Amino acid sequence: MARLTRRGLILRGAPVIAGAAFVGARSSSAAEHHGHAVAVADAAAAEPHAGHADMHGGFQGAVDHAANGFDPHVILRDFDAGQTTRLASGRTLRTFELVALEHDVEVAPGVTFPAWTYNGRIPGPTIRAREGELVRVAFANGSNHPHTIHFHGIHPATVDGIGGQGGAIVAPGGRAVYEFDAAPFGMHLYHCHVRPLAEHIAKGLFGAFIVDPKDGREDADEMVMVMHGVDTNFDRANEIYAVNGIGFAYLERPIQVRRGELVRLYLGNMTEYDPINSYHLHGNFFEYFPTGTSRVAAELTDTVMQCQGQRGILEWRFASTGRFMFHAHQSEFTELGWQGFFEVIE
């Protein structure tokens, strides 16, 4: 079979995703480094254009979320508050535990990827603290490669997670503790900061870090989406695009929201190998708060783009019931997995 490229995936239409293609496209040096073959289920090659297959392009069937060990629908509204204790000063100490692991993840129907994860999921846990609290993250490296956690936010140089004086690189089996103030309030990100950075991040070592304002925010149906790509053949270009680990997950099963209820979406971009990603909402406009650090919206729009590492908070309400799409407005990204539906119910 001819070498598979992501553009080829789109242009050649539905039946192109056959197992041999992904495996054949993988370079031997990459294979050696990653230590796994990329397996693609036979089902992906069969029955083009059946059922909703048109919207999936050539991706057929359903992802086995149980086998993956995580479900994007759970990740969507799963905020990790950690464990709290009160310090002598009266301040709250919020403790989290993260472990780096290596395991296969089915990132789109029939496409298995040898991922690196924090806590067995992509993205890692959505760490959530309140402005002014002390955050302590205990990190254990349960993988075969050196890793760190680098947090966005305001913190001392020694816990920056970049190696050397900036917080040691954690060898396989090693541990580290990152401790810093929760500041500033907003939507932040964290990721591994070991070279080659793009690879460590693209393999899945990233997550969201939310700091709530001292006085909180208005009640809302809150969710988190981290946009990213998956380089399944290690050619430094993405073959799959997703939010929260799995391509097409919210297309397969729409996200239910209530008509009239405030939706608050914490959106971040950890896409490697493409300079930007974007979020477009159908049939509605949202208020956009870049980085979530101001209470005043910067924009009322239906499309926002983010460079890698950028993030923000989106707020809106649906006035009517029905299914509304959301997706990257880069059409290639959409067709390669980054699309979904909100299903608005009464």
Spatial distance between the Cα atoms of 194 and 236, rounded to a whole number of angstroms: 17
Q: Nearer Cβ to Cu ion, position 111 or 194?
A: 194
Return the range that interacts with Cu ion (CB under 5 A); candidates 51-59, 196-204, 236-244, 336-344: 196-204
Q: Nearer Cβ to Cu ion, position 69 or 172?
A: 172
DSSP label at residue 42: G
Rg of the chain taking only CA atoms, in angstroms: 20
Q: Does 194 bind Cu ion (CB under 5 A)?
A: yes
Looking at residues 45 to 84 of the shown chain, list those that interact with Cu ion (rule: CB under 5 A): none
Q: Does 202 bind Cu ion (CB under 5 A)?
A: no
Return the range that interacts with Cu ion (CB under 5 A); candidates 126-134, 146-154, 169-177, 305-313: 146-154
Binding residues with Cu ion: total (CB under 5 A): 4
Spatial distance between the Cα atoms of 201 and 189, rounded to a whole number of angstroms: 12
For the bound state, the minimum distance from the C-beta of residue 159 to Cu ion, rounded and expressed in Å, comes to 16
For the bound state, the minimum distance from the C-beta of residue 229 to Cu ion, rounded and expressed in Å, comes to 17
Q: Nearer Cβ to Cu ion, position 32 or 215?
A: 32
For the bound state, the minimum distance from the C-beta of residue 146 to Cu ion, rounded and expressed in Å, comes to 7
Distance from the first to the final alpha carbon of the chain:
49
Return the range that interacts with Cu ion (CB under 5 A); candidates 12-20, 63-71, 192-200, 233-241: 192-200
Q: Nearer Cβ to Cu ion, position 203 or 311?
A: 203
Q: Nearer Cβ to Cu ion, position 6 or 191?
A: 191
Residue 31 CA neighbour count, 13 Å, CB half = 10
Spatial distance between the Cα atoms of 99 and 55, rounded to a whole number of angstroms: 36
Return the range that interacts with Cu ion (CB under 5 A); candidates 27-35, 198-206, 218-226, 304-312: 198-206
What ranges make up the beta strands (E) of 109-220? 111-118, 126-130, 134-141, 150-151, 175-181, 186-191, 206-212
Chain centroid to CA 172 = 24
Q: Does 44 bind Cu ion (CB under 5 A)?
A: no
Among 128, 147, 228, 264, binds Cu ion (CB under 5 A): 147
* Residues 93 and 136 sit within 8 Å (Cβ to Cβ): yes
Return the range that interacts with Cu ion (CB under 5 A); candidates 105-113, 189-197, 232-240, 278-286: 189-197
For the bound state, the minimum distance from the C-beta of residue 199 to Cu ion, rounded and expressed in Å, comes to 8
Q: Nearer Cβ to Cu ion, position 73 or 191?
A: 191
Provide the β-strand partners of residue 241: 229
Q: Does 192 bind Cu ion (CB under 5 A)?
A: yes
Return the range that interacts with Cu ion (CB under 5 A); candidates 78-86, 187-195, 290-298, 302-310: 187-195
For the bound state, the minimum distance from the C-beta of residue 147 to Cu ion, rounded and expressed in Å, comes to 3
Q: Does 115 bind Cu ion (CB under 5 A)?
A: no
For the bound state, the minimum distance from the C-beta of residue 192 to Cu ion, rounded and expressed in Å, comes to 3
Q: Report residue 73: phi and psi, to 5°.
A: -70, -30
Q: Which of 215, 251, 279, 253 is nearest to 340 (CA)?
A: 251
- Cβ neighbors of 103 (< 8 A, separation 6 or more) are 69, 114, 115, 117, 120
Q: Nearer Cβ to Cu ion, position 19 or 124?
A: 124
Q: What's the token pair of residue 95?
A: 């403790």
For the bound state, the minimum distance from the C-beta of residue 205 to Cu ion, rounded and expressed in Å, comes to 5
Q: Does 200 bind Cu ion (CB under 5 A)?
A: yes
Return the range that interacts with Cu ion (CB under 5 A); candidates 12-20, 136-144, 190-198, 315-323: 190-198
Q: Characterize 50-64 residue by residue with b for buried, 16 or more Cβ atoms within 10 angstroms of its Cβ, and e for exposed.
A: eeebeebbbbbbebe
Spatial distance between the Cα atoms of 14 and 334, rounded to a whole number of angstroms: 14
The one-letter code for the residue type at 281 is L
Which residues would be at the binding site for Cu ion (CB under 5 A)? Answer: 147, 192, 194, 200
